[in-house]
Amino acid sequence: MLWALRYMPTLRNGLEENFCRNPDGDPGGPWCHTTDPAVRFQSCGIKSCLVAACVWCNGEEYRGAVDRTESGRECQRWDLQHPHQHPFEPGKFLDQGLDDNYCRSPDGSQRPWCYTTDPQIEREFCDLPRCGSEAQPRQEATSVSCFRGKGEGYRGTANTTTAGVPCQRWDAQIPHQHRFTPEKYACK
């Protein structure tokens, strides 16, 4: 527990107090470890917002409709294997938003990308605007009433589960030990 004395959570990483968060990208949205020893974790029942038109961190949450690469090439549909074969089949990656031919980051790349329809160029990054400074709190994600994407950027103050059980603090390991400590999830 010595690290707890030296480390203070910040608005940037979001694992303050006992607020509902989604550090592992659960498709169900924000959740928390509970203070009930018999119930390890539960969803917080926060509703989804509209899709954001910009990206945070590496853009894993991006679910917009940009379908061209930064050089202007059209993106290949995710459900097709031509002209480029790939492992990202929509039916196997249900939580990645692999709809149509939109730019995504299903492999956690540094920013959203897509396979191109050009047989000579397999994949390229997409030109998407950043939502703001990474060092500043996420202004668009501070609503207590909804979340975007899978809720990894949710920064509201909800701190009880759908069953009304209080959430355990993220910097605590009692009553449930977990790996989602503030210092390990700087962009979550």
Do 75 and 117 meet the contact criterion of CB atoms below 8 Å apart? Answer: yes
**What was the pLDDT predicted at 36?**
94
Cβ-based neighbour number of residue 161 at 10 Å: 22
Q: What residue numbers bound the domain in which 12 lies? A: 1-50+135-188
Ranges of beta strands (E only) in the chain are 31-33, 41-43, 47-48, 113-115, 123-125, 146-147
**What was the pLDDT predicted at 8?**
43
Query: Does residue 104 share a domain with residue 37?
Result: no
Query: Does residue 119 share a domain with residue 73?
Result: yes
**What was the pLDDT predicted at 79?**
94
Per-residue pLDDT reduced to its tens digit, 83-120:
999 999 998 988 888 978 999 999 988 899 999 999 99
Query: Does residue 110 share a domain with residue 74?
Result: yes
Name the region of 24 (left: φ>0; alpha: ψ -120 to 50; beta: rest): alpha
**What was the pLDDT predicted at 12?**
45
What's the CATH code of the domain at 163?
2.40.20
Mode of pairing for the β-strands spanning 113-115 and 41-43: unpaired
**What was the pLDDT predicted at 11?**
47
Query: Does residue 100 share a domain with residue 75?
Result: yes
**What was the pLDDT predicted at 162?**
80
Q: How many domains does the chain have?
A: 2
Query: Does residue 123 share a domain with residue 62?
Result: yes
pTM, full prediction: 0.48
pLDDT tens series, the chain, 188 aa: 333 334 344 444 578 789 899 888 888 888 999 999 999 999 988 777 655 567 888 888 888 888 899 999 999 999 999 999 999 999 898 888 897 899 999 998 889 999 999 999 999 999 888 876 543 334 444 444 567 667 777 787 888 888 889 999 998 999 999 888 877 665 55
**What was the pLDDT predicted at 141?**
40
Structure token digits, residue 167? 């959430």
Query: Does residue 170 share a domain with residue 105?
Result: no
Query: Does residue 120 share a domain with residue 153?
Result: no
Query: Does residue 61 share a domain with residue 46?
Result: no
**What was the pLDDT predicted at 112?**
95
How many angstroms from the chain centroid is the CA of residue 57?
9
Query: Does residue 119 share a domain with residue 78?
Result: yes
Structure token digits, residue 31? 């959740």
Handedness of CA 144, 12, 56, 97 (dihedral sign): negative
Query: Does residue 121 share a domain with residue 64?
Result: yes
Query: Does residue 174 share a domain with residue 125?
Result: no
